[in-house]
């Protein structure tokens, strides 16, 4: 029994060692002999009945070989991705999460036009705010369904929002920084100039950056903790 298993394993290893192009060439050659009468006439008559079987066997071997190579490539890519994600977790998002530990952020959400009467009033105001009749109708229709939801975020207690430290760490570990993080940092920096907040209040972009860091940290921690 052991000898049979060893023989099978050796046969599998030998199959893996065969180049795919060689099996493809054999398969194509058998197909040409099978379907081209001139080539088939050069073959001994006792071998002609074996052409379909030979074509089928070589085709199956080629398919198995290509499938095994594809699976090997997929597994290797997943391993590389997992290794990179682990490095990103250890060197980037773990430290970023630590920077936010002493910065306790709270959010308040509200609705400016909860009632239909409020939205109807806003729609009439929009209707008369534009010279072009079509533009007024379009904006009024939009205002009719706009509840004017808003969200305000602030550092309730603890350290100030560490945007400069977050940016510094992302630059130091730039090889692990993804586009989502870098874009969130850029928007947060721009928001401080375009729409500076007062006191402990955060801009929308700063809050979005903190959410991104927390979400990525939780996603990676589920994999590697």
Instruction: Identify whether residues 140 and 179 lie together within a single domain.
Output: no
Contact (CB, 8 A) for 107 and 223: no
Q: Measured between alpha carbons, how far is 70 from 77 in angstroms, rounded to an integer? A: 11
User: Which are the contacts of 205, defined by CB distance < 8 A and separation ≥ 6?
Assistant: 184, 187, 188, 190, 191
Do 62 and 100 belong to one domain? Answer: no
Instruction: State whether 97 and 205 are in the same domain.
Output: yes
Question: Which residues, listed in sequence order, are joined to residue 151 by a DSSP beta bridge?
Answer: 109
Name the domain count of the chain. 3
Residue 220 belongs to domain spanning:
84-111+152-224
Position of tokens 């993804």?
A: 178
| Final residue before a domain boundary, out of 132, 147, 162 | 147
Domain C-terminal end among 26, 59, 81? 81
Query: Shortest CA distance to 186 belongs to which of 216, 154, 208?
Result: 208
Do 157 and 75 lie in a common domain? Answer: no
pLDDT per residue as tens, the chain (225 positions): 455 556 655 666 666 677 887 788 888 888 877 777 777 666 777 777 887 888 888 888 888 888 877 888 888 888 898 999 999 999 999 999 999 998 888 876 655 556 777 667 766 677 677 767 677 777 766 766 666 565 678 888 888 899 999 999 999 999 999 999 999 999 999 988 777 666 668 888 999 999 999 999 999 999 887
- Single out the residue in 38, 62, 81 at which a domain terminates: 81
| Model confidence pLDDT, tens digit, residues 104-133 | 888 766 555 567 776 677 666 776 777 676
The per-residue pLDDT for range 150-170, each reduced to its tens digit, is 567 888 888 889 999 999 999
Quote the CA–CA distance of 132 and 128 in Å, as a whole number. Answer: 9
CA atoms within 13 A on the CB side of 185: 19
DSSP 191-218: HHHHS---TTEE-HHHHHHHHHHHHHHH
The helix (run of H) or strand (run of E) holding residue 134 is helix 133-144
**Based on the domain organization, do 187 and 125 belong to the same domain?**
no
Same-domain pairing of 124 and 166: no
């Amino acid at each position: 029994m052991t000898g049979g298993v060893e023989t099978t394993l050796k046969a599998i290893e030998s199959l893996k060692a065969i180049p795919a192009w060689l099996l493809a060439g054999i398969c194509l050659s058998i197909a040409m002999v099978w379907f081209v009468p001139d080539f088939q006439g050069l073959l001994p008559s006792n071998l002609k009945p074996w052409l379909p079987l030979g074509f089928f066997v070589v085709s199956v071997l080629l398919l198995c070989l290509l499938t095994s190579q594809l699976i090997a490539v997929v597994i290797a890519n997943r391993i590389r991705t997992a290794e990179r994600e682990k490095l990103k977790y250890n060197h980037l998002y773990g430290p970023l999460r630590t920077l936010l530990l002493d910065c306790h952020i709270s959010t308040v959400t509200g609705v400016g036009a909860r009632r239909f009467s409020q939205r109807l009033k806003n729609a009439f105001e929009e209707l008369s705010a534009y010279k072009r009749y079509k533009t007024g109708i379009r904006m009024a229709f939009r205002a009719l369904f706009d509840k004017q939801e808003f969200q305000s975020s602030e550092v309730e207690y603890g350290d100030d929002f560490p945007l400069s430290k977050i940016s510094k760490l992302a630059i130091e570990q730039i090889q692990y920084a993804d586009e989502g993080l870098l874009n969130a940092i850029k928007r947060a920096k721009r928001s401080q100039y375009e729409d500076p907040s007062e006191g402990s209040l955060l801009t929308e972009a700063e809050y979005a950056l903190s959410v991104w860091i927390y979400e990525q940290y939780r996603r990676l921690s589920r994999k590697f903790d």
